[in-house]
Amino acid sequence: MSSNGQDNDLNAKILKQLEYYFGDVNLQRDKFLQDEMKKDHGWVPLDVLLTFNRLKQLTTDKAAIVAAVKDSEIVDVSEDSEKVRRNPAVPIPENSLEFWQEVKTRTVYIKGFPPETTLDDIMEFLKPHGDIVNVVMRRLKESRAFKGSIFATFKDKESAENFVKSEGTQKFKDIDLIRMMQNDYWAKEIAENKERKAAEKALKNQKKNETRKNTDDAHSAVHFLKGQVLQVTGLPTENVSIALLKEFFNKYAPVAYAVYDQGSSEASLRFQSSEENAAVNALEKMNEAAKETEGKIQFQGHELQCKVLEGEEEEKYWADFTKNKSAKDARGYQSHNRRGGRGNNRRGGGRGGGRDRDFRNNKRARVDDDENAGAEEDGGNGVKKPKVEADEVKQEVKAEAAEVKTEVKTEA
């Protein structure tokens, strides 16, 4: 390339960089530059701009900068050629949700670039496909390594849509690229995030149910004293109650618990003892006493058949008992909560009741929109960007955070 050609190429790069700094997208969120513009009616010293990495990589010659932007429609040069500003005849759009929504209609998501790809490589790739006003190289938060994906904002919506549709944009150095409009990307991310959360919730519930089942099984398999339960059949179906049963069997051993349905001919009785075979011992006493009635154990004139539960029958009894007790305890706990427990249904249980809960519900997550971060590839000027406060944008940010937590800087 001739010397004149090199100069023209450098002038074009300088012009593009200055018009980026003072362009609609960057000025909306570049607080550093906004603050500098407030100091002198919009004028910014070239010495300040030359602290920006991208510009000083191109040139440190003020005269070269002035020459490059002298015919710009966006950037004005001061009479002493020491300062520049945004052309007052080109008003800055209002920083509003509507503005950023419009920007997204002409912003493209592109993925598949190699990690070593530079901003210059990307700008060169995009150059034939339209006027690019902003590029975001997305980076991993911790390592700052390039993720291989970008957001590229075109000057107009038509150019952005044509880029996505064009077959000539499918590859970067023989590498296949994923391309879609930014709004489509966010819709996809939000949908996938919902699916991911639903799957995580289902897995969490599954583990919770498994834990509950294991706990129930553990309760069911709790160690118990063997030989405590007596199964009784042959009871009369009338004029029988648990109180009468306990009164009869207490003669042989203290009854701790009785299972009996009104009108049934069967009952189960568990005897109270700190040692095994309480029911075995009670049955031996019954059989001894039955010798006086021809070996029959009689209750209200009916002969009873009694046996001590063993093996699986005994285990089932204890499993059912434990399960029913747990269910009863749970119902009691829920009933207690519905009544409000202590405090007679007062929220918070005292002065300032409910204050902690309201605080938790009103906490707002701090989010950083990928599109609203720095104006330099290396962040040399420490720019901090304002957030766009809108539910839609917050949803998009959360979806992005679910993929990989990133800290992305705008680069051009």
Domains of the chain and CATH, by start: 3-86 (1.10.10.10), 97-182+374-386+402-411 (3.30.70.330), 229-309 (3.30.70.330)
Question: Closest Cα to residue 85, out of 48, 138, 52, 124?
Answer: 48
Can you tell me the distance from the alpha carbon of 330 to that of 321, in angstroms, rounded to the nearest whole number? 14
Question: Closest Cα to residue 17, out of 97, 72, 78?
Answer: 72
Tell me the pLDDT of the chain (412 aa) as tens digits: 556 667 788 999 999 999 999 999 999 889 999 999 999 999 999 999 999 999 999 999 999 999 999 999 999 999 999 999 999 999 999 889 999 999 999 999 999 999 999 999 999 999 999 999 999 999 998 899 999 999 999 999 999 999 999 988 889 999 999 999 999 999 999 999 999 999 999 898 888 888 877 766 665 555 688 999 999 999 999 999 999 999 999 999 999 999 999 999 999 999 998 889 999 999 999 999 998 888 899 999 999 999 999 999 999 998 888 888 878 877 776 666 666 544 444 444 444 444 343 333 443 333 333 333 333 333 333 333 333 334 444 445 444 444 433 333 334 4
Total residues belonging to the chain: 412
194 to each of 199, 260, 402, how far by Cα in Å?
9, 51, 10
Can you tell me the distance from the alpha carbon of 125 to that of 175, in angstroms, rounded to the nearest whole number? 12
SS3 call for 135: strand
Can you tell me the distance from the alpha carbon of 254 to that of 263, in angstroms, rounded to the nearest whole number? 24
**Where does 309-390 show beta strands of DSSP type E?**
none
Question: Closest Cα to residue 257, out of 229, 299, 224?
Answer: 229
C-beta of residue 59 within 8 angstroms of C-beta of residue 10: yes
Can you tell me the distance from the alpha carbon of 193 to that of 189, in angstroms, rounded to the nearest whole number? 6
Question: Closest Cα to residue 157, out of 108, 102, 106, 103?
Answer: 106
- pTM for this structure? 0.51
Please give the span between the terminal C-alpha atoms of the chain, in angstroms, as a whole number.
Answer: 24
Longest dimension (CA), the chain: 130
